Structure 1
Amino acid sequence: GAAKTDTAYTGLNAAIDVVSEIKAKLVAAREPGVDKLKINKEITELKNQLVSTATSASFSGENWLYRDASSATALGTKEMVGSFTRSASGDVSVGTLEFDASTSVLIDTQDSSLGQLTKGVAVEQGTAVGTGTTNATYNLIVASGGTAPSGSTTVELTASTSDDNIEGMISAVDSMLTDLTDAAATLGATNKRISMQDDFMADLMDVIDKGVGRLVDADMNEESTRLKALQTQQQLGIQALSIANSDSQNILSLFR
């Protein structure tokens, strides 16, 4: 569970950074006189990076950021072990954590409306800003082999892209960024919960080992003192035998 959440969380954070960079590029494209085509080339490469990030964020055969053509069903709630409990009576129970992976899917190749970056985001632009009525829909990425959502325009720039359209794209990307941040926050909390439980179990194992040691391990100070006394006794015995042996030799020399 820790490895899966780590992988997805790392991928989400990387995606957030790239989407933030795309938003910055769109803001730069709003500047009068800027070369929109050059900026679009940079945005295209950033999109490629997003696809690479999403497709590579897999562990143990699971990818919570990308749904490819081989996945028959959409990503849903993922369950993972979050705690292990042993009561005073010896009963064991395992607690689980859940994460809704549908909120973290960046690219869905089968249903573009399920991907945070492939779905269409409705925004207000031009004269509709502030009216509460959306008049444009944008998606950031068209998945390989997939199609853009009906009525949605892919975020990309041409030399003739109007300022109103650029502002609408900025609003759409900003909305995607908010959704990604929310998903990363939820996943990060789950990841932290698993990490804390892992640390707690390691500390608990150390404490239990120490407690058992107090019951069965020898008192090293006492045993060390006892060993030292025994060694001293052995040395005194050897010295006594040596003295006795030398005395007998002295007595025999008198008869020579």
Structure 2
Amino acid sequence: MSSILTNNTAMVALQTLKSINSNMAATQNEISTGKSVSSAKQNSAVWAISKTMESDVKGFKGISDSLALGSSTVSVARSAAEQVTDLMTEIKGKIVSAQESNVDRDKIQKDVVALRDQISTIVGSAQFNGLNLLTNREGGATVAQIVGNTGAGAGVMGSGSVDILASLDRDANGSVSASSISASKADLGTQASTAGTGTDLAATAFTGAGAIAAGATGTMTVVGDTTTAARAGNRVIAGDGYTIGGLTGVTGTVRYVARDGDTVNDIAKGLADMLNFQAEKSGIAITATVSGGALSITNGTSAGITTTSTLNTGGTAGGGLEILSQLDVSTEQGAKAALASIEGLTQTAVSAAADFGSVQGRIEIQAEYVDSLMSSMKSGIGSLVDADMEETSARLQALQVQQQLGVQALSIANQAPQSILSLFR
């Protein structure tokens, strides 16, 4: 049946042409954006995954920048520590020369002072973007946050390390956490410590102080401040000055002022190093060894000694090479004391350089991994949402032909009612 009111053929042709035009618009959108999924309405699941991965790529770009900054900072510290190690080797050579009785020790001492001053210059300038890993007397950092250590034997004014952002970890639930590479500071300064004027904080800062008979060994244990409520139980705080007195015949001060992140073990070792140096310098047969936080003092003299201990607040920590500032090879006894101490000081610098080298190597490996990971993630995102341009081009040409044929079909269908006029002639 023919009708001038309803043209079914034209309606079919029109719907076909609309479908072709819709596919044409979608194909042109893929060509213009380069993506097969450019909005959530096209494929919400794929779009959500791609956006999550894109945000991760942005995050890893920030991590890459952090690793680059951290690597540069550690590299400066490592290079400086290596230079300090070389200078310590030269100082050791001077000290060995001073052991001879027929040398001019005064001139050798001038050389030692010059080398020591050069070490101070290197350490003072070994900073990158304001952060110096070769000093550890105050908190603060620019590479990453410094997290304070708490708990047994820990300080609260800083951790003695910096955390360099290294990765973003996403679990199966979608939760994201950051992980870091820790770079420990290594204080290679030569500055002397300054005693504080604050009063003793707790009688339990040391245990075991007392008389040591000739030829006997006494043990003093550093426990820190464990009783002062105002400190919330923190055992070691930077600026605390631990002093051992009563060492008959030892003229120099046996003191250690805590720096950021020090534990009771660090304090015991610092006190032992200073006691051994000062005793050797004074020609007194008193020696100290350390096991954990326990400081064993052996009295090799012919008379008894009585050790005392104090702990004061508000001091300024000395450098890790503090003893270097007290070396004096101008006398025979001073030369002997210097020789006894120089190996330990040299190893301090060697250990610092080695530790920085290890950290820098790890940072560089992580940086390479992050770059590779970002490339893989970008490739994965592309496989999800990027348009196949060869296929899209072929589809566009086919749709253009279909569109032309659809227009022709609609035109033919619209002309069909014209044939009804012939019935009325």
Partner of 2:45: none
TM-score relative to the length of structure 2: 0.39
| Conservation of the 8 A alpha-carbon contact between 1:68 and 1:108 | no
**Distance between the aligned counterparts of 1:105 and 1:75, measured in 2?**
17
Structure 2 residue corresponding to 1:45, chosen from 114, 117, 137: 114
Q: Please state if 1:25 is matched with 2:94.
A: yes
Partner of 1:187: 356
Q: Could you report, residue by residue, the CA deviation over 1:188-220 in whole angstroms, capped at 9, with x for unpaired residues? A: 333322222111101212233344455637588
| Conservation of the 8 A alpha-carbon contact between 1:68 and 1:110 | no
Query: More helix per residue: 1 or 2?
Result: 1
Structure of greater relative contact order (alpha carbons < 8 Å, 6+ residues apart) = 2
Q: Please state if 1:120 is matched with 2:235.
A: no
Partner of 2:326: 154
Structure 2 residue corresponding to 1:93, chosen from 177, 182, 185: 177
Structure-2 change in CA distance of 1:169 and 1:75 (3 Å): farther
Q: Which amino acid aligns with 1:76?
A: S
3-state secondary structure, aligned to 2:276: strand
Q: Could you report, residue by residue, the CA deviation over 1:227-253 in whole angstroms, capped at 9, with x for unpaired residues? A: xxxxxxxxxxxxxxxxxxxxxxxxxxx
Q: Which amino acid aligns with 1:206?
A: S
| Conservation of the 8 A alpha-carbon contact between 2:327 and 2:338 | yes
Structure-2 change in CA distance of 1:38 and 1:13 (3 Å): same
Partner of 2:160: 77
Task: Return 5+ residue gaps in structure 1 as ranges.
Answer: 136-144, 227-256
TM-score relative to the length of structure 1: 0.61
Structure 1 position 27, deviation (Å): 0.8
Structure 1 position 22, deviation (Å): 0.5
3-state secondary structure, aligned to 1:96: strand
Q: Which amino acid aligns with 1:77?
A: G
Structure with max Cα Rg? 2
Structure 1 position 177, deviation (Å): 1.5
Q: Could you report, residue by residue, the CA deviation over 1:68-95 in whole angstroms, capped at 9, with x for unpaired residues? A: 7999x97633232233323466543211
Structure-2 change in CA distance of 1:134 and 1:56 (3 Å): farther
| Conservation of the 8 A alpha-carbon contact between 2:78 and 2:356 | yes
Q: Which amino acid aligns with 1:155?
A: L
**Distance between the aligned counterparts of 1:152 and 1:48, measured in 2?**
10
**Distance between the aligned counterparts of 1:152 and 1:197, measured in 2?**
37
Partner of 2:368: 199
Identity %: 22
Paired residues in the alignment total 206
Task: Return 5+ residue gaps in structure 2 as ranges.
Answer: 1-69, 141-155, 196-255, 260-269, 290-297, 301-315, 395-425
**Distance between the aligned counterparts of 2:345 and 2:89, measured in 1?**
10
Q: Which amino acid aligns with 2:326?
A: T
